[in-house]
Copies of this chain bind each other. A is one copy, B any other.
Amino acid sequence: MDCVLGIDGGGTKTVCIVMNAEKEILGRGETGASNYQSIGINAAFKSIELAIENAVIEALKTIKSLEVQVICLGLAGVNRPRDIEVIKKIVNDLQKSHRLPIMWELEQIIQPDNKSNNIIICHDALIALVGGICRDVGIVVAAGTGAIAYGRNHQGISKRVGGWGYILGDEGSAYQIAIAGMKAAIQAYDGRGELTSLVDVFTNHLQLETIEDLIEFVYRRGMGVKDIAAFATLVDSAAVDGDGVANEIIDDALGELVKATFTVIDAIFCPHIPNPSPQTIRNDDFEIVTTGSVWKGKSNIRERFIKVINQKYPYIKVILPRFEPAYGAGLLALKQYLQKSDSKAAH
């Protein structure tokens, strides 16, 4: 049976979906991280291979054989030509893998410019958008460890705001909320900043003798960005408990996520109209999907986000993801497959 593979490869997990032409999921496999810049090409290869294998084994319980027509990989941090080459090499090696009991049809279709277009490598935000909304038009506002607003309009034009990583950007992310919380605690301790319950919150939660031990915690214990980002929940809880400083931090994060979203809307959904009316946007007809841990905060950041968006654009619907990003990768692969079938049929 003809099928496509949708793969979501990230810093924590890798998910593979086997999808048929009717958008049905035939199999799903999940493994560990596959961001090759961090873990190396071999380890990334093995994660992707195992995710495919798990998905394919599941699919082969009900299907006799699988012929992979298109593969779409949505990968974090893959946007340079060199990265694309590395991933293409991985896909080529996958086709020689003896572990995978499938037929690959990827080499058959070569475009006039000598580029195969049945291997799609794209931004991880795009597959989150397509999986979340179930179409390739709209905006995803992802606020987890990192943060990005990524949109794609009806003309296929995309716009990204944020997503520059923990040093250069990611405003509105859990990492930035956590760091802002720690800084506020430190500045209160120094005597530079407003008094805040965050001093006690961090001291107690991390079992520190004094807040000075944050230095030990952050710099010396090899804490990663994800580990630090996890402390955003402490700031969120302090905000719910009425701490003014914590509430300011959450408000700032909300403001950044709103600004990023409006920037995407202005850039690609109503680019020719200086002051778009709600009507214009309504005509554009798109949804915004929110993903990531920040939206789950108890301080109602998501509800407030929706309110601010709808104050300006009442017709935009803000939704939770309908499907996971790997499903979005599957849909993108399928779109490509169906276009090919149409174009073959026409010849």
Contact = CB atoms under 8 A, between A and B. Distances in A.
A328 interface: no
B186 A169 contact: yes
A218 B161 contact: no
Interface stretch (A53-61, A87-95, A108-116, A260-268): A260-268
A205 interface: no
A167 B215 CA distance: 9
A183 interface: yes
Instruction: Give the one of A164, A183, A267 with max B CB within 10 A.
Output: A164
Interface string A240-265: 00000000000000000001100100
Main secondary structure on A side of the interface with B: helix
7 contacts: A161-B192, A165-B215, A168-B179, A168-B183, A168-B186, A168-B215, A192-B263
A191 B80 contact: no
A149 to B, nearest CB: 9
Interface residue tally of chain A, by bracket?
Answer: 20 to 34
A145 B169 CA distance: 20
Interface string A156-195: 0000111011011100000000010011001100111000
A151 B5 CA distance: 63
Contact of A190 (B162, B183, B187, B214): B162
A216 B80 contact: yes
A344 interface: no
Contact of A37 (B179, B182, B186, B220): B220
Given A164-B215, A168-B214, 15 more contacts: A37-B220, A160-B190, A161-B192, A162-B192, A165-B218, A167-B179, A167-B218, A167-B219, A168-B183, A169-B186, A190-B260, A190-B263, A192-B259, A192-B260, A192-B263
Interface string A21-53: 000000000000000010000000000000000
Contacts of A192: 161-162, 259-260, 263
Most buried by B among A80, A160, A267: A80
A38 B164 CA distance: 27
A199 to B, nearest CB: 13
B267 A191 contact: yes
A108 B216 CA distance: 34
A186 to B, nearest CB: 6
A214 B215 CA distance: 27
Contacts of A167: 179, 218-219
A160 B186 CA distance: 12
A266 B191 CA distance: 9
Contact of A183 (B169, B212, B215): B169
A170 to B, nearest CB: 10
Residue from A165, A179, A190, A216 whose CB has the most chain B CB atoms within 10 Å: A190
A265 to B, nearest CB: 11
A164 B186 CA distance: 8
A78 to B, nearest CB: 12
A159 B167 CA distance: 29
Interface string A208-224: 00001011101110000
